[in-house]
Amino acid sequence: MPGRPSHVLLSCLALACAFACAGASSVQGASSSSSTVGVTVLSATQLDTTGCAPNTAGVTLFGSVTAGSSTVTSADCVIAFGSSNDTSMLRIAQEDGAGRALVHDGWTQQLASGSGLMHDVSAQDDQNAIAVGTVGRIFRTTNGGTTWTPTALGGASLYGVHQFDSTHAWAVGASATIWKTVDGSTWTSSSSGVAGAANIWNVASTAANNAWVVASSGDIRATFDGGATWALQANPGQQLLDIVAVSATELFAVGGNGTILHTINSGTTWTAQTSGTGTYLRSVDAADANNLWVTGSNGVVLHTTNGGVTWSPQASGTTTDLDRVAAVTATRAFAVGATGLLRQTDDGGATWTAGTIATTEDLGGVDYANGRAWIVGDHATVFASPDVDVPDYATGVDDWDQGSNGAFGACLRAQSGTGATAGWPVDGNATCTTNDTDPWNGIPTTPGAAGALVMRGTSTMATDLVARLRFGVRALNTTRAGDYRARLTFSVIAPNA
């Protein structure tokens, strides 16, 4: 990772001498000038998390815990780190960025047995989401899915939706239909300019008045005036099925015959990227500007870690069409399809496994925001996850044995290495028991947040630094039965300040 810049400066004196010797000397009126040659040497950081591998009994798996009790992992999570040419520090964060600590891996059904199909869902955060479906139906929640309020617009079926903020959203569908809302509840139509027989499959928005749509005609159209006008930006001659924005000016669109299009200037120009497949690509989503997934027909999954410079195929484990994908982080994603199909990855797509969801309905939409994912499908089916969690340990608030809150925390049991200096307090008796006198810590949402610094290495070129962690959890009598997971990210940064 980048560290302190080191500059290697080469004097031009030797070069000047060489030139003077090679040519005529003592020429009156001659002039000279100087220059500087430099190079930046990056910090050579090292990180080894094999001693804290997922699903390791006693290390990253607690096993079973009885409701109303607490427990601690029985073996160390060992993290080795350092830098061969700099000082370094170890940080920890929760991968979902939402601070939900241990989250329930199950999916809870929030709507069921309705009429019509749900084709897409857009989540603005863990409380606000909008789903759309047949005959102009729109469902909206502002309370995490406790209630979903229906709006019947009638007319054409709606295939795509994007919620920009709590009040602004767009919905698109059959017969070139576009609807928008500026208050979250009242919807007005907008003329797209797309040929009337074409379906508009999806929409992306980067500001209250800025949006892009993709259509079965191949059109990419954009508005920068709240839908008053829609300008044609591109048409690759292939049906386009999905679009996603990764910044105010950068977007990706996908469609037929393996088409992937990319713009970095709000659509002034769209450039084709090489997908390596001729399959229909049905969905695209981004964890960030570099890490994206594309899914398509016959179970196709493509992944990029460099913003689409290269796309790599991944084995999804299914040949069923994957109609929608939701990127949670650079390593975690969900994809859905027909007859209750749910595939998910926690390792950047190296493996895709079957998710557990109690339905055989066709699933048409999935989205994620701020710690919660929603899935929608046939018969107005809506599922949400996670619906419950075990919160972070809070020093001075939680009590492992008699507290009123459930809690998940981490403790630095021991540290070693040249120049090892604690970020978190080290447990003085190296036990890390569920005792409030031991130094337990909540885990923050980002590596740069307060409380993320676990340990420092204050000596330059120290590569022998080791942090030994234990994890603790307390379940309440009312904590819902099931499996819970905390997805953590370790990072090494140099220098250490």
Other C-beta atoms closer than 10 Å to the C-beta of 433 total: 16
**What does the pLDDT average to over 377-394?**
83
pTM of the complete model: 0.74
For residue 112, tell me if it sits in a domain. Answer: yes
Q: Cα–chain-centroid distance for residue 406?
A: 26
In this model, does residue 116 exceed pLDDT 90? no
Give dist(CA 40, CA 6) in Å, integer. 5
pLDDT digits (tens, 9 = 90+) for 262-313: 999 999 999 999 999 999 999 999 999 999 999 999 999 999 999 999 999 9
Cis peptide before 495 (omega within 30 of 0): yes
pLDDT of residue 386: 64
Note whether 242 and 352 are same-domain residues: yes
pLDDT of residue 344: 93
CATH number at residue 456: 2.60.40
* Secondary-structure breakdown of the chain: helix, strand, coil percentages, each rounded to the nearest 5: 5, 45, 55
pLDDT digits (tens, 9 = 90+) for 453-480: 999 999 988 999 999 999 999 888 888 7
Note whether 356 and 401 are same-domain residues: no
Note whether 304 and 268 are same-domain residues: yes
- Domain final position from 361, 385, 409: 385
pLDDT of residue 6: 33
For residue 10, tell me if it sits in a domain. Answer: no
Question: Looking at this protein, which amino acid is placed at residue 21?
Answer: C
Note whether 125 and 228 are same-domain residues: yes
Binned at pLDDT 50, 70 and 90, residue 29 comes out as confident
Whether 385 and 372 have beta carbons less than 8 Å apart is answered as: yes
**What does the pLDDT average to over 181-204?**
92
For residue 31, tell me if it sits in a domain. Answer: no
In this model, does residue 75 exceed pLDDT 90? yes
- Domain final position from 355, 385, 415: 385
In this model, does residue 171 exceed pLDDT 90? yes
> Which residues, including other chains, have CB under 8 Å from residue 110's CB and lie 6 or more apart?
141, 145, 146, 148, 382, 383, 384
For residue 355, tell me if it sits in a domain. Answer: yes
Whether 166 and 187 have beta carbons less than 8 Å apart is answered as: no
Note whether 357 and 375 are same-domain residues: yes
The secondary structure of residue 199, as a DSSP letter, is P
Binned at pLDDT 50, 70 and 90, residue 72 comes out as very high
pLDDT of residue 486: 87
Binned at pLDDT 50, 70 and 90, residue 122 comes out as very high
pLDDT digits (tens, 9 = 90+) for 325-356: 999 988 889 999 999 999 999 889 999 999 88
pLDDT digits (tens, 9 = 90+) for 223-273: 999 999 999 999 999 999 999 999 999 999 999 999 999 999 999 999 999
Note whether 59 and 133 are same-domain residues: no
Binned at pLDDT 50, 70 and 90, residue 399 comes out as low
Note whether 74 and 209 are same-domain residues: no
**What does the pLDDT average to over 436-444?**
87
Note whether 96 and 220 are same-domain residues: no
Across 151-160, 296-305, 398-407, least confident range:
398-407
For residue 6, tell me if it sits in a domain. Answer: no
Binned at pLDDT 50, 70 and 90, residue 197 comes out as confident
pLDDT of residue 449: 86
Q: Count of domains in the chain?
A: 2
pLDDT of residue 189: 94
Note whether 202 and 304 are same-domain residues: yes
pLDDT of residue 247: 97
For residue 22, give the H/E element and its range.
helix 13-22
For residue 11, tell me if it sits in a domain. Answer: no
Note whether 197 and 338 are same-domain residues: yes
Range of the domain at 403: 45-102+390-493
In this model, does residue 4 exceed pLDDT 50? no
**What does the pLDDT average to over 141-149?**
93
Note whether 253 and 374 are same-domain residues: yes
Q: What percent of the chain has pLDDT over 70?
A: 90
pLDDT of residue 28: 64
pLDDT of residue 457: 94
More confident position, 123 or 406: 123
CATH number at residue 235: 2.130.10.10
Question: Looking at this protein, which amino acid is placed at residue 251?
Answer: L
For residue 119, tell me if it sits in a domain. Answer: yes
- Domain final position from 352, 385, 418: 385
pLDDT digits (tens, 9 = 90+) for 49-69: 999 998 899 999 999 888 888
Note whether 329 and 421 are same-domain residues: no
For residue 344, tell me if it sits in a domain. Answer: yes
